[in-house]
Amino acid sequence: MATKRSPAGGRVTRAAGGRVTRAVGGRVTRPLGGRAVTPIGGRPVMITGAASGIGRSLARRLSRLGSPTAIADIDEAGLKETARTLPGPALVRVLDVRDAADQHRFAAEVREWLTSPLAAVFNNAGVAVASSVLDADPGDDEWLRQINFDGVVNGTRAFLPILAEQDDGVIVNTSSVFGLVGMPYQSAYCASKFAVRGFTDALRQELRGTGVRAVTVHPGGIKTNIARNARVRKDPEGRGRTHEQMAAEFEALLRTTPDKAAEIICRGVDRGRARILVGPDAYVFDTLARVAPTHYYDVMAVLEKRLRAGAR
């Protein structure tokens, strides 16, 4: 069941050739070789995974900037808490992103709710699993794949027709730094995030010459609850740690807040970026993947030890 508050309208203009654009007082930018990009602040957006973490921070940031926000998550309590803190109009929807049919129903609800063109679709919902490949539980890996990858595909297919009809807007799909390099005990997570990256890169090329863009986001270590909500059957390193201990160790390495991540993502979208790296560690991952594509983990292991030592 959706709850609705009507979004305030904005000034809509039609550019040469009939493409719909919208001015909201922000400067218009133009990505290299592309069309002009109008900042998304003040324009309607849709965000999945909005009950916590980056999704909640995106919703709050954009709502403060005047954007009507359609927010969705399977966590009803967390979603209601996000909605309670939004200063502007919102469409609130409990949604399992694995359900393609329900994603299409949600897109139809958003289409009806809109009073001006949809500026951005953030396919952001995600989960984690920690396991070696040898001991992996196929059910856990399938659960993760359906949310992290299928959820992105479902959201893209449901909302892309709206953007294509407008010939305007941006699909923003959350990958990860683990979509840049493979990491031990994260095989399922890495596979899903590499898949998001490949899917979105392919979509971007299909959209060349249109007013619609596709963006991949690669967050580094963000201070969210993803590690505490992960599925963990046992310590994959064989050190006998509890789930709580493993989550605490992981969180000690995190340096970027969800609010800062949302700021970086929105700035990157507004600047017409095709790929957005979030956090200083994301740049380290990206550089190592380029200069040491088969030996990056040797360097990362040293950096991790130094970070853990500094966190004590």
As annotated, the active-site residues are 189
Q: How far apart are CA 297 and CA 306, in angstroms?
A: 14
- What type of residue sits at position 277? L
The pairing of strands 90-94 and 69-73 is parallel
Distance between CA atoms of 177 and 221, rounded to whole angstroms?
9
Judge whether 181 and 296 are in contact, CB under 8 Å: yes
DSSP 58: H
Amino acid at site 143: W
- Longest CA–CA separation in the chain, Å: 64
In whole angstroms, what is the distance from residue 178 CA to residue 190 CA?
A: 5
Q: How far apart are CA 68 and CA 224, in angstroms?
A: 24
